[in-house]
Amino acid sequence: MLKVNKLKGYLQYCSMTFKSIIGQERPIRFLQQSLKKGMVANAYLFTGIEGIGKRTTATVFAMALNCLSPDGASPCGSCRSCRKIGSGNHPDVIYLERKGAFIRIDQVRELFREISFRPFEGKKRVVIITNAHTMNHEAANALLKVLEEPPAKTTFILTASQESDLLPTIVSRCQHITFSPIPAEKIAEVLIQERGLKKEEAMPLAVCAGGSLKKALSADVKDWMDWRKQLIEEFHTALSGSMQNIFEFSCRISPDRERLIDALEVLGSWFRDVLFRRLGFSNIINKDFNERIEEASRGNSIQELLMGISAIESAKNDILKNCNRRLRVEVMMIDLLYNVREKGV
Span 312-320, average pLDDT: 95
Pairwise CA distance, residues 236 & 308, whole Å: 13
For the cut 70, the answer to whether the pLDDT of residue 343 exceeds it is no
What is the reported pLDDT for 117?
87
For the cut 70, the answer to whether the pLDDT of residue 13 exceeds it is no
Q: Model confidence at 341, in pLDDT bands (50, 70, 90)?
A: low
For the cut 70, the answer to whether the pLDDT of residue 250 exceeds it is yes
Span 93-106, average pLDDT: 93
Whole-Å CA distances, 299 to 72, 100, 283: 58, 51, 19
What is the reported pLDDT for 241?
85
Q: Model confidence at 298, in pLDDT bands (50, 70, 90)?
A: confident
Share of the chain above pLDDT 90, in %: 82
Pairwise CA distance, residues 185 & 179, whole Å: 17
Residue 11 CB: number of other CB atoms within 10 A?
A: 16
What is the reported pLDDT for 322?
84
| Higher pLDDT among residues 270 and 5, named by residue | 270
Pairwise CA distance, residues 55 & 14, whole Å: 12
Q: Model confidence at 16, in pLDDT bands (50, 70, 90)?
A: confident
What is the reported pLDDT for 12?
45
For the cut 70, the answer to whether the pLDDT of residue 109 exceeds it is yes
What is the reported pLDDT for 240?
87
Instruction: Check: CB of residue 94 under 8 Å from CB of residue 61.
Output: no
What is the reported pLDDT for 345?
63
Whole-Å CA distances, 162 to 60, 73, 191: 21, 27, 27
Question: What is the helix, strand, coil percentage profile of the chain, to 5?
Answer: 60, 10, 30
What is the reported pLDDT for 7?
36
* Predicted confidence (pLDDT) per residue in 66-91, tens digit: 999 998 899 999 999 999 999 999 99
Share of the chain above pLDDT 70, in %: 94
Pairwise CA distance, residues 133 & 49, whole Å: 12
For the cut 70, the answer to whether the pLDDT of residue 158 exceeds it is yes
For the cut 90, the answer to whether the pLDDT of residue 133 exceeds it is yes
Least confident of 6-15, 205-214, 276-285: 6-15
Across the chain, what does the average pLDDT equal? 91
Pairwise CA distance, residues 128 & 143, whole Å: 12
**305 φψ region: left (φ > 0), alpha (ψ -120 to 50), beta (else):** alpha
Span 261-271, average pLDDT: 95
For the cut 70, the answer to whether the pLDDT of residue 312 exceeds it is yes
Does the CA dihedral 133-134-135-136 come out positive or negative?
A: positive
Q: What domains sit in the chain, N to C, each tagged with a CATH number?
A: 10-178 (3.40.50.300), 220-343 (1.20.272.10)
For the cut 70, the answer to whether the pLDDT of residue 14 exceeds it is no
